[in-house]
Amino acid sequence: MRALTKKVLGIHGGLLLAEAICVSAFIFELRRALGGNELSWAYVFEWPVLGLYGVYVWKKLLQEEREGGPNSSRELPVDQQEETARAAYNDYLRRMHRDEATNDETKS
């Protein structure tokens, strides 16, 4: 089984687990609220909202998997000026490190 398929199945499984928890908690709190527990009314409305948030996260995770994930190997456009500045800065750091190593050897 491909790794992508395993990830997608894991995402679906996570959604099923989250929705099962939200539905069972909603039913539990609804029964308590109808039984006279006033505080449970807040939870009656909270659990469906959490269930909807689970669906939102599920959609986002599936979308990331379809697009190759956040760490995909797609090439990003490189600004030549930025690349030149980065190379110059790296050269500067190499020179500084080399000079410090030379100074440390002369002090010994």
What are the boundaries of each domain within the chain? Answer: 1-68, 79-108
Q: What pLDDT does residue 66 have?
A: 85
Best CA proximity match to 43, nearest among 32, 52, 54, 53: 32
One pLDDT digit (tens) per residue for the chain, 108 residues: 566 688 899 999 999 999 999 999 999 999 999 999 999 999 999 999 999 999 999 999 999 988 876 555 556 677 888 999 999 999 999 999 888 877 777 776
- List Cα–Cα distances, 23 to 10, 26, 66, 89, in angstroms: 20, 5, 28, 56
Spatial separation of the C-alpha atoms in residues 62 and 10, rounded to whole Å: 10
Q: How would you class 29 by CB atoms within 10 Å of its CB: exposed for 0-12, middle for 13-18, buried for 19 or more?
A: buried
Q: What pLDDT does residue 74 have?
A: 57
pTM of the model: 0.59
Spatial separation of the C-alpha atoms in residues 55 and 14, rounded to whole Å: 10
